[in-house]
Chains A and B, each alone.
Chain A
C-alpha cells in the first residue's frame, strides 16, 4: 500500500541543472545536519558514561573532552560488580523483574479475558473501579503499602516488592487484553466447547496462545517499568542493603564513594546495558506499546 500512495517524484524539467537540484535539496541537508547534531547530543551522556567506565580513576578527572581511554581499565567493572555489590543488585533486579512480569501478564490476561468476553453480574463495577483508579500516583499510596507490607511481614523481602509492583497500576494492560479478546470470533470457543473443552482449557489452549501480540507488548512494558522502578524498591530496601536493585544501588554507591567516577560509570553501564540491548532487539514492540496510549 505504501508503494502505491507514496508521492511520485516531481517530474524534472529537461534543463534542470545540477546547481538547481542542489539548491532545492539544500533545506533537507540543513535539516539532516541539525538532526545529526541533536542525535550526538542525545547519545553523548551514554557515550561519556561508557568511556568513563573504561578510564583509570585519575584519567576521568583530567581527560576533559577526550572519549577514548589511554588504557582500558576493565578493573572498574570488577570493582563495581564485586566490591560495590552490583552483582547482587543485578540478581535482585532480574528476580524482581522476571517474577513481576510473569504475575502481571497472567493476572491481566485472566482478568482481561473474562472482562472482555463475558457478561456477568458485577462486571460494570469491576471495570468502573479499574478505570477510576487509572491515575493514582505512587506518591499517594506508598505509605499504606509500606504499612501493609510490614504487617504482612513482607517489607524487607523481594517477595514483598514483587507483590506490591504487580498489584499496582497495570489497568491499561487489562484493558488492552479485554479489547483484544473481545474482537476474537465467537466460533472459536463454540467449536472448542462442542469438542468438550471446558472454560479453563478454552482459555489456556486457544485464547492465550492467540493473544501473543498483546502478551509481548504487556510483558515488554512491564519489564521496562519494573527494571527501571526506583521509588518502591528504595523504600522496601531501607533496612536491608542486600535487597537493593540496580537503580537503588547506584544512588547508594555514589553516596558512599563520591570520588570513584569510573566505578560509578561502570556500575551505570552494568545497570542499563540489559534494558538497552532488549530495546535495540525488540524496538518495534516497545514503540508500538507506547504509541498504543494515543491510538486507543
Chain B
C-alpha cells in the first residue's frame, strides 16, 4: 500500500533545499533511532544469552549453590581451591589435551594430503569423493555417537564382525576398555569432523593460481619440489589459521563424548566439558558453584587459545602481504 502513496514531504527534494540544516539534524536523529531499532534484537538476545551468562559465571563461581532452585551462599574463592585440588579436574584437563594432540594433527595433516589429491583436476570422481568425505560433518553428532556404541559393540557390532572375518577370535571392547576408549573416540572424532578441515584446505589451495604450477613444471620441478617450494610456502599462512580453528574445535567434543562413552569407562574419556556437566547436571546433589568455577577456568583456557588465534591471524595477514 505504502508504495503507491506519494513520498512523505519530509524527504522531498524541494524541502531539502529550503530548510536543509534543520532537516538534516532531524534526519540524523531519526537515523540513529532506526540504527538502534535494528540493533535491538541482537542487543537483547545476545545480551541475555551470551553476555549476561559470561558475567554471571564469575559470580556463580564464588558461591555455594546446590541446585537451581536452592539459595546461593557467598564462599569466596573456595570453589576454585576445591577445583584445583581435585585430581579428577586435572585428569580431565590432561584428557582434553591428549585428545587434542591425538585428533588435531590427524585432522590437519591427513586432510591436507587428501585435499591436495582432491584438488588435482586429473583425478576422476573427485566431486563424489569430496561429498563422501564431507558427509559425516553434516550428520547429527549426538546420533552418530549413539550409533557408534553399536558399531563397536564387542559381541555383535559390525566392527567386531569385520575383525572376526579377518581372523580375530574374540571381540575387543574398544569403547568399554579404559585403555582403548580414548583412542577409539579420537578415531571416530577424526572421521566425523575431518571434512571441515578438508574444506578449509581446498579453499586455501584454490587461492594458488594454476599457472604457478605450470610454470614450476616447465622449469622442471618434480612433484615433491613443487610441494616443498611452491605449495607449502603459499599454504603456510593458512596452516596457522586452520591449526588454530581446528584446535579450538577439538575442545568442544561434548556431544560425541557424552553420547558415545559418557566420559567412561572409569572417567578415561572425561574431557573438561563432561566434568563440568557431571557436577552441574548429573550429580545427585548438583554443585553449581563448583561447576561454574571449573567452567570459568575452562573459559580462560579457551580464551588463551582465542588470543593465540588472533595473533596467528595477524601473522598470517602480514605473511600474505609480503607475498603479494
Chain A interface residues (CB < 8 Å from chain B): 2, 5-7, 28, 31-32, 35, 38-39, 41-46, 48-49, 52, 60-62, 64-65, 103, 106-108, 110-111, 113-115, 118, 120-121, 126, 129-130, 133-148, 150, 163-164, 166-169, 174, 193-201, 203, 224, 227-228, 230-231, 235, 238, 246-248, 250-251, 254, 261, 264-265, 268, 271-272, 275-276, 278-280, 283, 286-287, 290-291, 293-295
Complex Cα gap A199–B250 (Å): 43
Q: A118-B31, A291-B203, A294-B203 are in contact. Are A143 and B131 (CB under 8 A)?
A: no
Instruction: Tell me the minimal C-beta distance from B167 to chain A in angstroms.
Output: 14
Which B residue's beta carbon lies closest to that of A254? B146
Check if B311 is an interface residue, CB within 8 A of chain A. no
Check if B309 is an interface residue, CB within 8 A of chain A. yes
Query: In the complex, what residues of A have CB within 8 A of residue B142's CB?
Result: 228, 230, 247-248, 250-251
The reply to whether B245 and A294 form a contact with Cβ atoms under 8 Å apart is yes
The reply to whether B245 and A65 form a contact with Cβ atoms under 8 Å apart is no
Check if B234 is an interface residue, CB within 8 A of chain A. no
The reply to whether A275 and B149 form a contact with Cβ atoms under 8 Å apart is no
Which B residue's beta carbon lies closest to that of A231? B254
Complex Cα gap A145–B32 (Å): 31
Query: In the complex, what residues of B have CB within 8 A of residue A135's CB?
Result: 248, 302-303, 305-306, 309
Check if B140 is an interface residue, CB within 8 A of chain A. yes
A-B contact pairs, 30 of them (CB 8 A): A7-B210, A32-B125, A39-B133, A42-B135, A48-B151, A107-B42, A129-B51, A133-B51, A136-B54, A137-B298, A138-B273, A144-B52, A144-B60, A147-B56, A148-B49, A148-B52, A164-B49, A196-B6, A201-B2, A230-B259, A247-B142, A251-B142, A251-B146, A254-B149, A276-B139, A283-B131, A287-B130, A290-B196, A290-B200, A293-B245
Complex Cα gap A295–B201 (Å): 10
Please give me the 8 A-B residue pairs with the lowest Cβ-Cβ distance, nearest first.
A196-B7, A167-B49, A167-B45, A141-B53, A144-B53, A291-B203, A135-B306, A144-B56
4 further interface pairs, Cβ-Cβ under 8 Å (given A169-B50, A203-B38, A286-B134)? A65-B162, A118-B35, A137-B251, A250-B259
Instruction: Tell me the minimal C-beta distance from B97 to chain A in angstroms.
Output: 15
Query: In the complex, what residues of B have CB within 8 A of residue A46's CB?
Result: 135, 139
Query: In the complex, what residues of A have CB within 8 A of residue B202's CB?
Result: 291
Interface of B: prevailing SS? helix
The reply to whether A110 and B277 form a contact with Cβ atoms under 8 Å apart is no
Check if B84 is an interface residue, CB within 8 A of chain A. no
Chain B interface residues (CB < 8 Å from chain A): 2, 6-8, 11-13, 30-32, 34-35, 38-39, 41-43, 45-46, 48-54, 56-57, 60, 68-69, 114, 117, 121-125, 128-144, 146-151, 155-156, 158, 161-162, 164-165, 191, 196, 199-200, 202-204, 209-211, 213-214, 217, 238, 241-242, 245, 248, 251-252, 254-255, 258-259, 272-273, 276-277, 280-281, 288, 291-292, 295-296, 298-299, 302-303, 305-306, 309
The reply to whether B53 and A228 form a contact with Cβ atoms under 8 Å apart is no
Instruction: Tell me the minimal C-beta distance from A144 to chain B in angstroms.
Output: 4
Which A residue's beta carbon lies closest to that of B42? A111
Partner of B132, one of A39, A45, A126, A254: A39
The reply to whether B11 and A42 form a contact with Cβ atoms under 8 Å apart is no
Instruction: Tell me the minimal C-beta distance from A174 to chain B in angstroms.
Output: 7
Complex Cα gap A200–B8 (Å): 14
Complex Cα gap A31–B251 (Å): 33
Which B residue's beta carbon lies closest to that of A248? B142
Which B residue's beta carbon lies closest to that of A52? B150
Partner of B57, one of A108, A144, A195, A251: A144
Instruction: Tell me the minimal C-beta distance from A231 to chain B in angstroms.
Output: 6
Instruction: Tell me the minimal C-beta distance from B207 to chain A in angstroms.
Output: 8
Which B residue's beta carbon lies closest to that of A227? B140
Instruction: Tell me the minimal C-beta distance from A51 to chain B in angstroms.
Output: 9
Most buried by A among B121, B134, B242: B134
Complex Cα gap A272–B141 (Å): 10
The reply to whether B210 and A114 form a contact with Cβ atoms under 8 Å apart is no
The reply to whether B277 and A113 form a contact with Cβ atoms under 8 Å apart is no
The reply to whether B6 and A142 form a contact with Cβ atoms under 8 Å apart is no
The reply to whether A136 and B143 form a contact with Cβ atoms under 8 Å apart is no
Query: In the complex, what residues of A have CB within 8 A of residue B258's CB?
Result: 230, 251
Query: In the complex, what residues of B have CB within 8 A of residue A168's CB?
Result: 49-50
Query: In the complex, what residues of B have CB within 8 A of residue A121's CB?
Result: 32
Query: In the complex, what residues of A have CB within 8 A of residue B35's CB?
Result: 114, 118, 120
Which B residue's beta carbon lies closest to that of A39? B132
